[in-house]
Chains A and B, each alone.
Chain A
């Protein structure tokens, strides 16, 4: 429990929100949730905490805008919907953050940000500048030009790369599951949430991938790998449910919600 105290003193955080937290199961936008997220992040910014938002949802919003009832499977169509949906998504964020008088901006990244040093530096400097200007940068993958649909794997990985890029001290992944469980909570009655992960061991990774396929499709594998990128880089990571975004307040108060993956260098420091 004491380890959670470190979370009370975070200055630069990256919050990743998944499609499931932004929309209803029927695919329509959950404005209440987006409004709450905008409120929470604007309030943090006002406290002096620098906030970066990594968002998913462009394809879903695009599908909604065009009145499609199901998401297409074809890559070009997905990219087209992302181009429509990203514009819509930003409009919605601008509207809600605007209510709290918070300026936001859009940054679309491709894998180049990892592989091309000049692009890495450019993206980093731009985001740092935005934070310095009290703006909340809203980041998504530039799906339209991505060479394949799994450039980053997903936005979990993107969020970890961003956290590392901007030298954040905390990554919060808001998802549809409230943390890492000792077993699949949907099938195992005995499954318990693991609140603290001091080290991401091969056993833990195996647990996340699970033998049951349903457990792994929850996307825990990519979340663990995101947590690994962060913790290796000295960044704490929390994976928790995004059904109520004000959970970010609880996290920063050191309350035991979700699963806390402890940053490696911090762990080393504790041992000294």
Chain B
């Protein structure tokens, strides 16, 4: 049976302190939880936002820059910071990560999708966790959606994922959306997350992929 593949979407706001700096404790926890998920035998891909936020902080810009080009410049600085933090905290659990920057128009280029899928598979087979973000410095298409919700869906599609964690809150609540299922589930704590994922995988036909594209339309309305 092939490994279950899960895409975890991280909103940077859940990892920042009020002053805009990375909260080390939360970031460390995240690295632990995800490495553990990986260690349990799942293929984990992370879709993260945060390049603009960290760039803004690094450059000491007063607030999030409002001109598009300044946001892109901040993203260029901040992406380097962001991936460095991920490396740093995953290193603590001896987990290697990789950086993949995509533009969401990728879906219109089948060969690029194919290549990216191959890269994902190769990384996952090598026990590496890909950390994926929008390539903001070269694209404005999705820069407004810094929360990367559309990107997470695209990544799930490319990676042929079985699950997406749409929202992960560092207070121990997770919401998971099983692919092709219209039920979103909020679970409490990591043990329950693990159990829930296992129960999903139990009802699945081994080796068969869930239809990750058919997400419930109401997903944005789910309140936590």
B111–A106 contact, CB under 8 A? Answer: no
- Bound Cα distance from A107 to B70, whole angstroms: 14
**Residues in B whose Cβ lies below 8 Å from that of A129:** 69-70, 72-73
| Complexed CA–CA distance, A65 and B95 (Å) | 11
Is B98 close to A, CB under 8 A? yes
Q: In the complex, which residues 66-105 of chain B have their Cβ closer than 8 Å to any Cβ of chain A?
A: 69-70, 72-73, 76-77, 79-81, 83-84, 86-87, 96-103
Q: Which residues of A contact B140 (CB under 8 A)?
A: 118, 122
Among residues of A, the one whose C-beta sits closest to the C-beta of B126 is A80
Known contacts A80-B123, A133-B59, A142-B101; A94/B138 CB under 8 A: no
Residues of chain A in range 44-60 having any CB-CB distance to chain B below 8 Å? none
Distance between B85 CB and nearest chain A CB, rounded to angstroms: 10
- How does the 8 Å CB contact mask read for A165-201 relative to B, with 1 for contact and 0 for none? 0000000000000000000000000000000000000
Main secondary structure of the interface of A (DSSP, over half): helix
Chain B positions 99-135 with a Cβ under 8 Å from a chain A Cβ: 99-103, 106, 109, 111-112, 115-116, 118-119, 121-123, 126, 128, 130-131, 135
The count of residues in chain B whose C-beta lies closer than 8 Å to any C-beta of chain A is 44
Q: Is the CB of A146 within 8 A of B115?
A: yes
A161 at the interface (CB under 8 A from B): no
| Contact (A144, B101) CB under 8 Å given A88-B87, A90-B80, A107-B137 | yes
Q: Which of A113, A127, A130, A145 contacts B102 (CB 8 A)?
A: A145
Q: Verify A87–B83 contact, CB threshold 8 A.
A: yes
* B182 at interface, CB cutoff 8 A: no
Q: Does B139 contact A (CB under 8 A)?
A: yes
Q: Tell me whether B58 is interfacial, beta carbon within 8 Å.
A: yes
**List of B residues within 8 angstroms of A216 by Cβ:** none
Nearest neighbor of A84 in chain B, beta-carbon distance:
B98
Do residues A90 and B76 form an inter-chain contact, with CB atoms below 8 A? Answer: no
Contact residues in B for A107 (Cβ distance below 8 Å) = 76, 137-138
Q: Are A122 and B84 interface neighbours, CB within 8 A?
A: no
A106 to B119, CA, bound (A): 20
Closest chain A residue to B99, Cβ basis: A87
Whether A36 sits at the interface, judged by CB under 8 Å, is no
- In chain A between 24 and 77, which residues have their CB closer than 8 angstroms to a CB of chain B? 62, 65-66, 75-77
Say yes or no for A108: interface residue by CB 8 A criterion.
yes
Check B73–A144 contact: CB distance below 8 A.
no
A98 CB → nearest B CB, Å: 11
CB-CB under 8 A for A144 and B116, given A103-B59, A126-B137: yes
- Bound complex: CA of A127 vs CA of B137, how far in Å? 8
Q: What is the chain B residue whose CB lies nearest that of A85?
A: B98
Judge whether B138 and A109 touch: CB under 8 Å.
yes
In whole angstroms, how far apart are the Cα atoms of A57 and B80 in the complex? Answer: 16
CA distance A66 to B125 in the complex (A): 13
Which of B58, B73, B76, B100 interacts with A145 by CB under 8 Å?
A: B100
> Taking A126-B69, A129-B69, A145-B112 as contacts, is the C-beta distance between A87 and B122 under 8 angstroms?
no
9 pairs of A and B residues whose beta carbons are closest in the complex: A83-B98, A105-B76, A76-B118, A80-B122, A87-B99, A105-B77, A126-B72, A129-B73, A79-B119
Interface CB pairs A-B, < 8 A, 10: A62-B98, A76-B121, A76-B122, A84-B128, A87-B84, A87-B98, A107-B137, A129-B73, A135-B73, A142-B135
The residues of B with any CB-CB pair to A shorter than 8 Å are 55, 58-59, 69-70, 72-73, 76-77, 79-81, 83-84, 86-87, 96-103, 106, 109, 111-112, 115-116, 118-119, 121-123, 126, 128, 130-131, 135, 137-140
